[in-house]
Structure 1
Amino acid sequence: MKSFLKTSVACIAALTLTTFSAAAENVLKWGAQRDVVSLDPYSYGDTFTIAVLNHVYEGLVRYDDNLQIAPALATSWEVVSPTLWRFHLRQGVTFHDGAPFTADDVLASLTRVSDPASPLRGNLPAYQSAKKIDDFTVEVTTTPNYPLLLNDLTNIVIFDKEWLVANKAEAPTDVGKGVEGYATAHANGTGPFKVVSRKPDAETVFEVNKAWWDKPRHNIDKIVFTPITSAATRVAALLSGEIDFTNSAPLQDIPRLQASSDIKVLASNELRTVFFVFNRTDKTIASDITDKNPMNDIKVRQAMYQSIDIDALQKKVMRGLSRNTGSMVAPAIPGYVEALDSRLPYDPDAAKKLLAEAGYPNGFTFSFVCENDGYVNEEEICQAVSSMWARVGLKATLDVAPTSLQTAKFESGKFDVGILGWANEPMIDSYSILVQVVHSKTGTSGVFNWGGWKYPEVDALIDAAGKELDREKRLDFQSEALTKIKDDVAFLPLHQQPMAWATGSKVESLVQLTDNKPRHWLTKMK
């Protein structure tokens, strides 16, 4: 009997302790619009996925609270020659599995991300090779006089070489091509949180890394990340306390959220410019014009531009929260030129005249590929613009589906018109969009040149900018390149999209920067 009582008391005490510990935990419940595309940050150039995985993985350098470059896994660096950088690595750092961080891990990671099959290779456009000097010193060789290596490296995270080898994960994965591997569903970084469970499209749980090398500014024990695709459900979950944070508060629900005393809304414009891209190959993908591609005619592209009522789009679809633009980059991005920010006027009659001059008085049909879980109100944008185009005879066959399905279509050029958003991250410089989107597809350039557009004169300007150390001269090259593509209506800019975050009563403070990346290693819970 005494033994039974002792056992019962012990069980009750243990249960009470467990309950108290669970209650004492600071758990941040994060409700997002969609899931990450993979646990492999090299698998696709998706800003949101990389932002989430920055809680797990780290690079040699990072951006601080003012978006200035700061040391991370490298403590210092110097430029040895116009083609050589030397990095001194942080000692005493361990991966989540306890393995020590050394130069071998840096070399393995740079080899993996620069592989010709890597979707993220465009984030290191000047990288040539890397060499180990000793366990905590690495030298990186680049193309001559490349000015933006540190900016690039903020997005290149470091894997554990032994972990990659042990799990046969040295080769890169590719979401767009359906190439998966061990790193798709498993993670092992050096960052402030570690992945402890993963159910794709349902829930990913992160726990604090108590062995993190940096001094924590957060007080979070666990992050429960849940994709909630329904805007109404996401709002209801926030109001009821089922989630504590969302980085995608629906624009139409902001007044309702602001009316709640328990909810705090942080709304602003982010760096990302949203624009339309055109198939510029010889023939369309799905059109009643089969002998040529109308998108290659500047009059057609201008007609599509001038048939969009951007003010109506901003007011009705974006709830007045987007920033209309004629520029491909936001004002805060180096290389922005105010004169390029003016838009062609909305003029349906002029659009009809241009179409007639181009030989399409009755318009034509074409495929219009969009996502329903990508950019802010993207599906609504595409629906509204399709209706505007229809008024001038342009009949878009709207193809809307999740990112997971549309990525392959974009990467393989299976569209006539598509939508793309570019925040110029991690560079935070207009060279980013120029080298990855505008440049023709050669080597590490043009990774996001989905439509096969080619401008040799613009390529030459971009290439010149990529080896110019004088900042003003470099930006002049980039501004000239942006001017040329604007004059040719190579793309159809819409707006800098709004970012709207919301927190519940359990969140005391967090940091929101214009790159729209949550940084919960800076978040405090009450």
Structure 2
Amino acid sequence: MMKRSLTGIAALAAAALALTACSSGTAATDGGDGAESAAKPLSIGNFLDVTSWDPSLADVGFDGPYLSAIYDPLLAINGDGEPQPALATDWEVSDDFKTITMNLRTDATFSDGAAFDADAAVKSLDYLKAGVRSQEAYVKVDSFEAVDEDTIEIHLTERDDTILYYMGLGRSYMMSPEAIDAGTLAETPVGSGPYTLGADSVPGAEYHFAKVADHWDAAAFPFDPLTVSPLSDATAMLNGMESGQFNLIYGDKTATDLAPDNNWNVASGLSTWVGLQFSDRAGATEMGKPLGELKVRQALNYAFNGPEMVETIAQGVGEATNQVFPVGTPGYVESLTGEYPPSIDTAKKLLAEAGYADGFAVTMPMAPPFQPWQAIIEQTFTELGITVTWKETDFMQYMSVAPEYPMFVGVIAMDSNPIATVERQIANPQWYNPTPGLEAFPEVQAQVDTVLTAAPGDEQLAEVEKLNELVTQNAFFSVWAQSTNTYISVADFTVTPVTGMMFPTLRQIAVTE
């Protein structure tokens, strides 16, 4: 039961962050002129069903295999979170950072026969900019312009250090202009991708994809036949792997442990941080007033033993850390991991110094995926004199109700791009960070401004690290650990995880040489 609960947490993280591979499939090839690789059957056991076939409504989380089969993106992404060419062959950012010029391929065709060109690209980008979910990539865009048949310009209202990252992460899929006008993409997806959706697909159970002849990047997609099946039961997914129904699945620790005996490949990458999210860290509400005290927030960092929780609750899978920047990526500061060594005594002392020697009362939401941590929270709060009242809710409602409380258990998706982390986790309102409260932390606000105006490269990354130090010292969160996503494949395939994607796209799946 524990294993299934922990697998469910990954699904929550995917739904929670509605947007977030150096292999033969990552970078664009020479347009299909080279020899195509021998076809390999690929049957994927994914954790969740496709949220929508319409890229403007789809989630980045587990939708990667589905959407990347049907649609080509302007930009792809590699395992380090760096944008890569796809339908856009190259791009240039102007000296004032407000214009991005992209050169486009001229040999791509939508499955309805229409040619991909600059006008089609602009139409898709306008549609994505207006999309409920996809708009997050284009909040600083003023307009898109077709300069000529194979060139577009993206005009920004201000400098944007994350737009190319978001586009590569899954926010630049190109759609047929006619299908956009018809409003039918959610039911009948029409892209220029390497596959089309098979008529024999069974929604919610099994999706079959037909390989497109003469696709411009055919060599990057040697999978035929291709099937993707949503199956959120970890045991059933593992059974499918063992029986040969699947040759690539979203795995858990049990599957990882069985991999050596079955000659399976295991690929893991950091995906989410786990801990307490302080949604009222400024103490603006009556119930959240204690959290407005730095020493209270620091106490809640000292109180939880992250390394022990990784070993027990997470069964040894993950990284014990107190930061929201993924371990080992730009912005992460190794020395900060010792900032809050676990100590109930230190936590009690800090609470007393803040005027809460007898603790305080707090109400928090609880949903089934978070129950593995409920007991340790109750135990720890009891030791601190904190009385917690749980408001039970279900998985689907958690995102809408959690921001109503001063703090809640968070399983929050991370980004490999450090500026995206700054914007999503610290500076900008999100469902999981509804009131960043930076007006109460002028030093943090000033450092955010410095980060966003610093020269790209080493100078900016140095400022990001300073910001990370500030928010960690100010206990913006009580991070216990960072969790991983794991993918199990037969020896024929290798997978490159991407932090920001719960399940990689087909471009991160390669045939083993």
Fold match (TM-score > 0.5) = yes
2:490 pairs with 1:513: no
- Whether 2:85 is the aligned partner of 1:71: answer yes
CA-CA distance at 1:146 after TM superposition: 4.3
How far did residue 246 of structure 1 move? 0.7
CA distance in 2, matches of 1:480, 1:380: 34
Alpha-carbon spacing, 1:33–1:147, altered in 2? closer, same or farther (3 Å)? closer
- Alpha-carbon distance between aligned partners in 1 of 2:453 and 2:123, rounded to the nearest angstrom: 26
Cα pair 1:94 1:211 within 8 Å, conserved? no
- Contact 1:220–1:525 at 8 Å: present in 2 too? no
**In structure 2, what is the equivalent of residue 212 of structure 1?**
215
- Matches of 2:306 and 2:281 in 1, distance apart? 27
Alignment-derived partner of residue 429 in structure 1: 417
Code of the aligned partner of 2:152: V
| Letter matched to residue 498 of structure 1 | T
TM-score, reference length from structure 2: 0.79
Q: CA deviation at 1:26?
A: 5.2
Residues 210 and 397 (structure 1), Cα distance of their counterparts in 2 relative to 1, 3 Å cut: farther
Task: Determine whether 1:137 maps to 2:151.
Answer: yes
Which letter does structure 2 place at the counterpart of 1:453?
A: P
**Correspondence for 1:240:** 243
Aligned pairs for 1:75-86 within 5 A = 75-82=89-96, 83-86=98-101
Deviations 1:27-51 (A, max 9, x none): 4322223223333333365433346
User: Could you say what secondary structure the match of 1:30 adopts?
Assistant: strand
**Partner Cα distance (1:365, 1:50) in 2:** 38
Pair 1:468–1:37, CA change in 2 (3 A):
same
**Counterpart residue identity of residue 35, structure 1:** D
Question: Residues of 2 paired with 1:33 and 1:525: CA distance?
Answer: 23
Instruction: Give the counterpart of 1:327 among 317, 323, 329.
Output: 323
The reply on whether 1:420 has 2:411 as its aligned counterpart is: yes
Greater shift, 323-332 or 190-199, is seen at 190-199
* Structure 1 residues 33 and 418: CA distance shift in structure 2, 3 A: same
Partner residue, 2:346: 350
Match of 1:41 in 2: 55
Whether 2:206 is the aligned partner of 1:203: answer: yes
Aligned to 2:35: none
Tell me if structure 2 keeps the 8 A contact 1:191–1:212. Answer: yes
Q: Which runs of 5+ in 2 are unaligned?
A: 1-37
Query: Taking structure 1 as reference, are residues 381 and 120 closer, same or farther at Cα in structure 2, changes over 3 Å only?
Result: farther
**What SS does structure 1 have at the residue aligned with 2:102?**
strand
**Which stretch of the first structure deviates more once superposed, 90-99 or 117-126?**
117-126
Which structure's relative contact order is higher, taking Cα pairs within 8 Å and 6+ residues apart? Answer: 2
Which deviates the most, 487-496 or 145-154? 145-154
Q: Is the 8 A contact 1:39 1:187 kept in 2?
A: yes
Change (3 A) 1:274 1:121: farther
CA contact (8 A) 1:370 1:419 kept: no
Q: For the residues of structure 2 that align with 1:222 and 1:414, how far apart are their CA atoms?
A: 48
* Distance change (3 Å), C-alpha of 1:97 and 1:135: same
**2:259 corresponding residue in structure 1:** 258
Determine if the alignment matches structure 1 residue 227 to structure 2 residue 241.
no
Relative to the length of structure 1, the TM-score reads: 0.77
Structure 2 counterpart of 1:359, from 356, 360, 364:
356
Q: 1:152 to 1:243 in 2, by over 3 A?
A: closer
SS in 2 for 1:483: helix
Distance 1:50 1:65, change over 3 A: closer
Larger Rg: 1
Q: In structure 2, how many angstroms separate the alpha carbons of the residues matched to 1:385 and 1:123?
A: 36
Cα shift at 1:267: 4.5
How far residue 154 of structure 1 moved from its aligned partner, in angstroms, is 1.0
> Is the CA contact (8 Å cut-off) linking 2:303 and 2:343 kept in structure 1?
yes
Alignment of 1:92 onto 2:89: no
- Aligned pair in 2 of structure 1 residues 160, 389: CA closer, same or farther (>3 Å)? same
Name structure 1 gaps, 5 residues minimum. 1-23, 169-181, 373-377, 441-445
Q: In structure 2, do the counterparts of structure 1 residues 149 and 498 end up closer, same or farther at CA, with 3 Å as the change threshold? A: closer
Tell me: CA distance 1:215–1:142, structure 2 relative to 1, closer, same or farther (3 Å). Answer: same
Q: Percent identity?
A: 19
Distance across 2 between alignment mates of 1:525 and 1:471: 34
How far off is 1:220 after superposition? 1.7
Shift of the 352–494 alpha-carbon distance from structure 1 to 2, 3 Å rule, reads: same
Q: CA 1:165 to 1:228, structure 2 compared with 1: closer, same or farther past 3 Å?
A: closer
Q: Give the CA deviation at 1:94.
A: 1.2
In the other structure, the counterpart of 1:454 is: 437
> What is the root-mean-square deviation of aligned Cα atoms in Å?
3.3
Classify the secondary structure of the residue corresponding to 2:222.
Answer: coil
Spell out the pairing of 1:479-490 with structure 2 (5 A cutoff).
Answer: 479-490=465-476
Q: Is the 8 A contact 1:304 1:351 kept in 2?
A: yes
Residue 232 of structure 1: CA displacement?
2.1
Establish whether residue 389 from structure 1 lines up as the match of residue 404 from structure 2. Answer: no
Distance 1:459 1:187 in 2: 43
1:403-426: CA deviations, max 9, x gaps?
x4433335x6467313132331xx
Give the counterpart letter for 1:508 in structure 2. Answer: D
Deviation (angstroms), 1:280: 1.0
CA pair 325-103 structure 1, distance change in 2 beyond 3 A: same
Task: Report the Cα offset of residue 65 of structure 1.
Answer: 6.5
Query: Residue in 2 aligned with 1:408?
Result: 400
8 A Cα contact 1:105 1:158, kept in partner? no
The 3 A distance-change label for structure 1 pair 106 and 143 is same
Offset at 1:508?
1.1
Flag the 1:53–1:423 CA change in 2: closer, same or farther, 3 A. Answer: farther
1:302 aligns with 2:305: no
- 2:72–2:193: 8 Å Cα contact kept in structure 1? yes
* Aligned-pair CA distance for 1:265: 4.1
In the other structure, the counterpart of 1:153 is: 167
Alignment of 1:123 onto 2:107: no
